Amino acid sequence: MTVYKVEICGVNTAKLPLLKNEEKEALFQKVLEGDKAAREEYIKGNLRLVLSVIKRFSSSDENVDDLFQIGCIGLIKAIDNFDISQGVKFSTYAVPMIVGEIRRYLRDNSSIRVSRSLRDIAYKAIYARDMLTKKNQKEPTIEEIAAEVGMAKEEIVYAMDAIQSPVSLYEPVYSEGGDTLCVMDQISDKKNKEDTWIEELSLSQAMKKLNDREKRIIQMRFYEGKTQMEVADEISISQAQVSRLEKSALRNLKNQLGS
């Protein structure tokens, strides 16, 4: 699938408007007041979000025009459900909605057969996730989804895994200020073979040369097996910052150990 063609679904992507934050805020106020022209302009002003998302699915065999249309549905749903009182950037809320819409489309059109019961559980979990995301303006945890559905989290995870298409560990899922987060950054590193050298070498002297924040991140990531998101929540910084600090700390440790 090529996602770099200029015209997609009759839309010249090279001429898509690039709105400033102030313009978007003013437009959205009009959208809330029921201004249909403003709503149309706001949609067009955010189509670049859809383009950025469908590039993540470049390995898919699906037609780029189809993915673009599905992504637009996700964008429109995000506009209809966005709550400005939560103080969250629209793009932060919209991107997961667009990704989710495309993944649902790919899942429903997958040739892999999954039992009806597993699908039912997965659909309930997805509905609960979307509802909780809309309510709290953030992605819910598996525990929260399981509590909402009234099932064990293990059942939820199994069902969700069953309907997912395989993805590369290096598939980008988010980017902030040039720091790209990949699927592998979302995964606990207790058994990460590329970094088990940390547990096998004496790091006491090298660790002393790290600052307190870097030490804490290394401890939580590689000794406690926490994901970057879990670390970010615990020390109150963004996941992108955790990723950057972790890479810097590992680079320093490797240099000190002569790796």
Report d(CA 148, CA 56) in Å as an integer: 30
Three-class SS string for the chain?
Answer: CCCCCCEECCEEHHHCCCCCHHHHHHHHHHHHCCCHHHHHHHHHHCHHHHHHHHHHHCCCCCCHHHHHHHHHHHHHHHHHHCCHHHCCCHHHHHHHHHHHHHHHHHHHCCCCCCCHHHHHHHHHHHHHHHHHHHHHCCCCCHHHHHHHHCCCHHHHHHHHHHCCCCCCCCCEEEEECCEEEEHHHHCCCCCCHHHCHHHHCCCHHHHHCCCHHHHHHHHHHHHCCCCHHHHHHHHCCCHHHHHHHHHHHHHHHHHHHCC
Average pLDDT rounded to a whole number, residues 251-257:
77
pLDDT over 70 (residue 40): yes
Q: Single out the residue of 78, 102, 76 nearest to residue 91, CA to CA.
A: 78
pLDDT over 60 (residue 167): no
Specify which residues 210 forms β-bridges with: none
pLDDT over 50 (residue 48): yes
Contact 9, 75 (CB under 8 A): no
What residue type is 45 in one-letter code? G
Q: Residues 100-119: pLDDT tens digits?
A: 888 888 776 655 555 667 77
pLDDT over 60 (residue 135): yes
Between 62 and 83, residue with greater pLDDT: 83
pLDDT averaged over the chain? 76
| pTM higher than the cut 0.85 | no
